Amino acid sequence: MNLQGRVVLITGASEGIGAACARELAGRGAKLVLLARSEKVAEVARETGGEAVRGDVTLAEARQEFVDRAVQVHQRVDVLVNNAGVGIYGPSHRASMAEMRAMFEVNLFAALEMVQLVAPVMKQQRDGMIVNISSIAGLVPLPWFTMYSAAKYAVMAMTDGQRMELAGYNVRTMAVCPGYVRTRFQDNVLSGRPPERLWRNRRFAITAEECAQATARGIEKESRTVVTPGVGRVLVAARALAPRVVDHFLRKIYADLDIA
């Protein structure tokens, strides 16, 4: 897909991966409509020449206003980037159910409801692309992140299923699976903290800008799945070939949390 002149909607666009995607895609000629709760979304919109909608993606009225703005201003929707997300660190067997439901509301249900709003527009156009920001945790379950992994696994399944559902309308889907990205994600989790060993050892971390570049390239190539950085594919392959070995390695990292 050539991004020049394409209308792109991005959720969670005030900072981190969302804001980086806005800058990267605008640099490739896209016309942007951005959604976020933070007032910073207006700054990103001014910087990228886009439209800003301030609102909570988990609220129906905010989602509707977001899509309506895109259609009113541009008369079409070419790409949806479902980026808004939140995490929880800690064991699933004693997690707060209220926090679990809040996390799934953002990471899965809001993303699904965004797709339900843009799909009719894309089907009528007989063209479009849905990009769901998942995680390496959506391919390999991380024990310090069990329910976040579950939510991102669900995003992966949704992405793959929607690819088949919408293929007849020339609507493509792509999942993006970043590893550790240097953003304020850890500061904004609903609860918990990452293992110290993981926190200290960030050799394979990437910037939000690098993640955005990989996402943009994936959209242009109409990829099915983007794993970034590439070393993440090694972990995915290793778990497929030697799951017990990978489980043992991840359990050792989880032990740093010292929780029962």
* Active centre residues (catalytic): 148
Query: What beta strand segments (E) does the chain contain?
Result: 7-11, 31-36, 51-54, 79-82, 128-133, 171-178, 181-182, 206-207, 225-228
Q: Please give the DSSP secondary-structure letter assigned to residue 206.
A: E
Structure tokens at 141: 């379950």
What does the chain come to in residues?
260
Q: 14 with 38: CB under 8 angstroms? A: yes
Interatomic CA distance for residues 162 and 171, integer angstroms: 9
Structure tokens at 82: 């479902």
Distances in whole angstroms, Cα of residue 51 to Cα of each of 6, 36, 219, 227? 14, 12, 21, 29
CA atoms within 13 A on the CB side of 176: 31
